[in-house]
Amino acid sequence: MYAGVVAAGYDDLTAAHVGLWRYPGLEGLRPSQLADRRGITKQSVNDLLGHLEQRGYLLRVADSADGRARVIRLTSKGWRLQQTIYAQAGSAQLRIEEILGPRRFAQMHSSLEVLTEQLAGSPVVV
């Protein structure tokens, strides 16, 4: 996926930047929520967000519900990046389905959805 994102012209990003974009995306999240969802430190998230902000992909703005907190807002450049990342993810899914076949891919996909649902909110163990 990362190689496809770079090939699409986003060569100012690392795999760690791209890894922040998992469904449903970054828009409207607080950095602390993003850190929790990705299982990484708040400092790491804020460093990555700072790089993305400097490159024009997003802004961190005051949360209207809590002025002390910040929320992530994608710029038009950030929305284009998100579309590119999701297109690459879709291509990767199709490739995996070609390898596994439709039945086994559907079983794997269903199993991953169950795991995601069951593990949501569970602490990440590294």
Q: What is the CATH number of the domain that holds 98?
A: 1.10.10.10
Domain membership flag for residue 101: yes
Q: What is the pLDDT of residue 117?
A: 81
Residue 63 inside a domain? The answer is yes
pLDDT given for residue 23 in this prediction: 76
| Count of structural domains within the chain | 1
Q: Which residues pair with 70 in a beta bridge?
A: 62
Q: Tell the residue number behind the tokens 């602390």, with chain if given.
A: 32
Which residues, 6+ apart, have CB-to-CB distance to 69 below 8 Å? 30, 32, 62, 63
Residue numbers in the chain where pLDDT is lower than 50: 126
Q: Quote the pLDDT of residue 2.
A: 93
94: helix, coil or strand? Answer: helix
Residue 33 pLDDT? 92
List the beta bridge partners of residue 62.
Answer: 70
**pLDDT number for residue 122:** 59
Q: Residue 65: exposed, middle, or buried by beta-carbon count in 10 A (0-12, 13-18, 19+)? A: exposed
Is 124 domain-assigned? no
Residue 33 in domain: yes
Residue 32 lies in a domain: yes
In three-state secondary structure terms, 81 is: helix
What is the domain range of residue 75?
A: 2-119
DSSP-derived secondary structure letter, 58? E
14 domain-assigned: yes
The pLDDT of residue 126: 43
Q: What is the pLDDT of residue 121?
A: 58
Residue 109 lies in a domain: yes
Any domain includes 111? yes
